[in-house]
Structure 1
Amino acid sequence: MTPVEILALIQSARSLLDLGISQYRLAEQEGRLTDEQRAAILEAADLTDDRVDAVVAAARQRLGQTTT
């Protein structure tokens, strides 16, 4: 896989995560989720923005170390 393909894949995944979070919030606001559904969604969405950001920050730090 080329670097361009990897970047596109990561950007797509991030966009899908953002869409899923916004749809979850909308469904929650509209009262369309049972407690069981909410728990299942939150369990499936264990990869939070903070965790994604931490992975990206670590990768950027490693990149900076290899280019200096």
Structure 2
Amino acid sequence: MSPWLTTAFLTGLISSLHCVGMCGPLVAALPVGRLAQGQRWKAVALYHTGRIATYSILGALAVP
């Protein structure tokens, strides 16, 4: 495995601890459990779509 892939993998693995500690409580606080079963997946999908879009935009802005 190349050093770049190893570094990227380890960085992602280590930074996932940050996500669990910082984002985990935010996700746990979402009132998804109160929604009807049919609406839960929509709420979760909307949350993750917004999260991924935000990180993608910030990543695109960070790259010259």
Indicate whether the TM-score tops 0.5.
Answer: no
User: Which structure carries more relative contact order (alpha carbon 8 Å, separation 6+)?
Assistant: 2
TM-score normalized by structure 1? 0.40
TM-score normalized by structure 2? 0.42
- Structure ranking higher in helix proportion: 2
